[in-house]
Amino acid sequence: MNIQVLYGTETGNAEMLAEDIAAELEAEHEVTATNLSDFDPADFDRGTLYLLVCSTYGDGELPASAQPFAEKMEAEQPDLTGVHFGIFGMGDSEYEETFNGGPATLAELMIARGATQLGERIAHDASGADMAEDLAFPWAEEIVGMASDALGQAA
């Protein structure tokens, strides 16, 4: 299966997690990790599974590297019907009102353009006891399993 891990980051934590997820999956799949700032929404491919990893910045906003992607999504309004994605959010629950706001915004952008979200959006809490990898690796495997059914032969 072709998998592209797209990440939006401010400090590099989402990038490191995206690369770890890609490394975890690459034994059985073709996997790349790409910064959202380097990805054009016109390049979504319906035969590829997208795993989005995104942090939150400021008052629940998208991190700097995801903002150009979001602006292009709003401006170009691409039709993402048939595109499948999963989303893993990173944040800190000490910021109660804005916790995981960036990933929620990113998921809303994808769904508004017709993409299909697989599984639940995970909201990792930096103030919690779980390491991000401990949640991300099982999540990624679960989404890949769902995508095998959803993408069928195209994958």
pLDDT in tens, 39-66: 999 999 999 999 999 998 888 889 999 9
Per the CB < 8 A criterion, the answer to whether 96 and 66 are in contact is no
Per the CB < 8 A criterion, the answer to whether 3 and 48 are in contact is yes
**pLDDT interval class at 153 (50, 70, 90):** very low
Q: How much is the average pLDDT of 8-14? A: 92
Q: What is the DSSP string of 97-145?
A: TTTTHHHHHHHHHHHHTT-EE-SPPEEEETTSSS-HHHHHHHHHHHHHH
Q: How much is the average pLDDT of 24-33? A: 96
Per the CB < 8 A criterion, the answer to whether 79 and 85 are in contact is no
State the chain's mean pLDDT as an integer: 91
How far apart are the C-alpha atoms of 89 and 57, rounded to whole Å? 12
